[in-house]
Every structure is written in structure tokens, then in C-alpha cells.
Amino acid sequence: MELAEYCLTGAFIVAGLALLLNIGAVTSKKRALERVEAATALELVGSGRPTVGDRPVPDYADYGVTPQADTARTRSHGLAWYGTAFTVMSLLLLTAYIGIRMAVTGHGPFSNQHEFAVAFSWGILLAYLVFEWLYRLRALSLAVLPVTLGMMVYAMNLDATVNPLVPALQNSMMLTLHVGFAVISYGTACVSFAAAVLWLVRPKVKARWLPGQDTLDDIGYRAAALTFPLITIMIVLGAIWADTAWGRYWGWDPKETAAFVTWLIYGGYLHARVVRNWRGKKAAWLLVIGFAMVLFAYFGNHFFGGLHSYG
């Protein structure tokens, strides 16, 4: 298990470096844009072109780039590449941690809060990388990676001791599927949350290096469109498992209730989007509320107890 702990610590460090690299990438991109604008503005002042000796200075503004802007753009691309590589590395280290722990314990990451917090972090990184690949943008990491790092810190401060499973958790296959869908759905919910946050922030900071609001709105919608069916399957599998573990499909346990409310929020968002064409601020805030409910569903058993309180 010592190797597993090294993997978790390494995943945290690498994810932190990925965040710093992505911040550097978007900062370099911002500088490149500012330099292009400055060069273009200078070109528009007067019609003469400066010379060095008897040779005219190349008019980089005609091409939308200056030497300095080109350097900043190259630096941005390099930092972004490393940011993605470090994010992938963090995901692989979390995968190794979960794999080692499963090999040692003989069950999935669901026996306590520590295991699920690590799995939660894994699901967030996986969902983020999929959307980064689909949309070729890394700005989402500015909201996704802090959530992931926070979840890892939380996991590392919890008791990681391997204990025997309580009887309710011994229906391993069905419970593993239930938790697996929960992990992926929480990851896509975090992506929709990140898109919504950037949508809300973009006009206030006037950050033109961020994706356009239409793109962010589309990402939020597509991520939510995945979250809803995943949560639906999670609830159905959980009900089947609950019948085996506790002798009933549904009992309005606090975590069950929170999951149901989360399902209603994402279902309501999709209905409002498709039927009433909700976009913009109202839709973004609904996605923020949805992810807040996801977090409440996860942390709520600390405050309300219930049958899902295993540690």
C-alpha cells in the first residue's frame, strides 16, 4: 500500500503542476493577443512603413502576428501541451492508486469516504480530458483542476486504513457498477459546472482568451446531457443493490434523496434547454446549482447520517 500512497501524492503534485502550466498557457495566449492588437493599431497610424537602412521592416501586422506575439503564442502552445500531459499523468497515477488498492482489498473504491474521494477525483479528470480532446481547449482546467485538487486534499486527510467490508457492501459487482456510474456522472457534472462558471465570469473579466460564451454554453449542455442519463443509471443500479443489501429498493435515505434532487435538477435543466430554449445566465446558474447538489449528495452523510454512512 505504500506504493499506492506514493501514487496518490504524485497525482496531487502533478495535477497542481498541470494547473500552473495551464495558467501559464492562457496568460501567454493573452499576451500574444495583446501584442497582435498593438501591432495592428500601430500599423493603422499613418501610411508610412518604418525601415532599417534601406530595407523595410516586415509588416507582421498584415499576418496578425509580431515576432514577440509569435514567441508568446509558441510558448502558450508549449505550456498547454505540458499541461495536458501532466493532467494525463495525474489520471494515470490515480488509476494506479485505485488499481493497487482494489488488488489489495479485493473490491472497488466504495468502502469509505477516502476511496470514493479518490475515485471522484479520477472521474473528474477523465471527464475533463475527454472534453478537452473534443473541444481542443484547456480553459476548463482553470475551474476543473482546483476542484480536483481540493478533492485529493480531502482524500489524503481521511483515514485510508483497509478494513473489512460491512455486510451491506458485500454485493460487490452491483455496487461496483453503481459507484462506477456515480464517479463518471460526478465527473461530467464538474465539467458542466466549469463551463457554467467560465460563462458567468467571462463578460466580467473581459478575457477574450477564454472560449466564447456560445462554446461554453454548448459544453455545459453536452456535459449535462451525459450527466443526466448517468445519474439515472446510477440511481437504478443503486435501487437494485439496496434491495439486496437492505431489503427495499428505496427508503428516502438522505443520500438517496439528495441523488434524486440532483437528478431532478439536471432533468429540469435539459427540459428547460430543449423545450424553453434556456440559455445564458439562467442555464449557467442551474448547472452551478446542479454541481452544488452533487457535492451535497457526496458530503451530506457527514451531517445527516443514514444508511450510506460507512466512514
208 DSSP assignment: T
Indicate the pLDDT class of residue 42, thresholds 50, 70 and 90. Answer: very low
Instruction: Give the residue-averaged pLDDT of 129-157.
Output: 94
Least confident segment among 18-22, 50-54, 214-218, 230-234: 50-54
Which grid coordinates are listed for 274? 430543449
276 vs 61, which has greater pLDDT?
276
Question: For the chain, what is the domain count?
Answer: 1
Q: Which amino acid is at 179?
A: V
Which grid coordinates are listed for 215? 462554446
Does the pLDDT of residue 168 top 90, yes or no? no
pLDDT at 52: 44
pLDDT at 122: 97
Using alpha carbons only, how large is the chain's radius of gyration in Å? 23
Instruction: Give the residue-averaged pLDDT of 16-40.
Output: 70
**Residue 12 covered by a domain:** yes
**Residue 51 covered by a domain:** yes
**Residue 283 covered by a domain:** yes
Strands 55-56 and 51-52: antiparallel
Q: Which of 215, 211, 219, 212 is nearest to 193 (CA)?
A: 219
At 134-144, the pLDDT tens digits run: 988 888 999 99
113 vs 232, which has greater pLDDT?
232
Taking the C-alpha atoms of residue 273 and residue 26, their distance in angstroms, rounded to an integer, is: 30
At 211-269, the pLDDT tens digits run: 888 999 999 999 999 999 999 999 999 888 888 877 788 777 888 889 999 999 999 99
Taking the C-alpha atoms of residue 131 and residue 143, their distance in angstroms, rounded to an integer, is: 13
pLDDT at 186: 96
**Residue 49 covered by a domain:** yes
**Residue 309 covered by a domain:** no
**Residue 263 covered by a domain:** yes
**Residue 96 covered by a domain:** yes
**Residue 310 covered by a domain:** no
Task: Give the range of the structural domain holding residue 114, as residue numbers without chain letter.
Answer: 2-304
pLDDT at 59: 46
